[in-house]
Homo-oligomer: A and B are copies of this chain.
């Protein structure tokens, strides 16, 4: 590289930084789901012009009307946007200085990473990419993804780190808890080169209170998976302990109340009916797959996933035991599921254990119904459809079921009423003390 060219490229970085400092850059978020939409709102709040892209035309149409499709995000949050900048067409990528990819990274039917959304996104936007842009992946994936699927694809088109900047930054959204204060959560950033890292950090510092620099792309990618695998392992571990306690006629929640008084070296995780959501059941499989590819069997990940799936059997066995004691045949039983979201206070059904249980029970029982105020319609998800709506809870209704199962402990529920009028309760969330008709699930 000659002197003038080097100078020109150095100027590009400092030119970009100046533009960022003045908030003169335009930001494009690709993928406006549970991750992308809160991020777009956060960035817009900091007064950057923000474009939003999603291939789901219904989402775009809603956004253009100012209608939010995520329960925790109010319509008012969308008011700040110039709604013309929401689009399913990637042409506007041309006008973006910073492009952030927040597309889903699900599993295929073999439980392996399905990176089609990242791949398609890169392919679709490539015609509109140009020198001087910054491209950041926020989709969670295995270490090496940013390098393999983005750096390597754009290597021929750009001098990456000089005239185009690539990085990975993990999202730390905790659905139902921090969507509206993302800027308070330290933001992990990484770059393909030092130059990439610096410019990306510089940008995110305008959005987030604290930016944490990872040494390279893979360390950032790994750290995000580690955070979620840690949760997956600990939730499954405490579920295993729950089963042992149950066999000893002990209540794991009482044990946890004691153990958590240890002021060092212990962190409480609560057991439940099996993890759900996009992160905990899925992310660990990305690491498992990658480790296997390089010749290592990640046994903790496998065990955590196996035990998680088995929790439904634990609940099902409880149902059978209770019905037997009550002299009711399972084929003649009526079961009520209370709470179907994968965790409390959110309207998210992804990978929810309640769906798996309802699917099982609908084959075995006379009737299975559900109550969850956050879902007003019949349920149709990729792998499950349930042709009933949420029932209303009242004295008469509650007493008509053989067992009510607390699958999700939404705060709005009237637990006193549930306790008073249910014949039997299986409580998967520790809302009640055990008694002769209240069981741990």
Contact = CB atoms under 8 A, between A and B. Distances in A.
Contacts of A300: 236-237, 240, 303, 307
| Copies of this chain, count | 2
Interface in A193-250: 210, 212, 214-215, 218-220, 222-223, 226-227, 229-231, 233-234, 236-237, 240-241, 243-245, 247-248, 250
A266 B222 contact: no
A219 B254 contact: yes
Interface in A315-330: none
Contacts of A178: 264
A62 B324 CA distance: 63
A255 B219 contact: yes
A379 interface: no
A258 interface: yes
Given A241-B226, A247-B296, A295-B247, A263 B186 contact: yes
Contacts of A287: 244
Contacts of A299: 240, 303, 307
A264 B185 CA distance: 9
A255 B188 contact: no
A264 B174 contact: yes
A278 interface: no
Interface of A: 143-144, 172, 174, 177-178, 185-186, 188, 210, 212, 214-215, 218-220, 222-223, 226-227, 229-231, 233-234, 236-237, 240-241, 243-245, 247-248, 250-251, 254-256, 258-259, 261-267, 287, 291, 294-296, 298-300, 303, 307
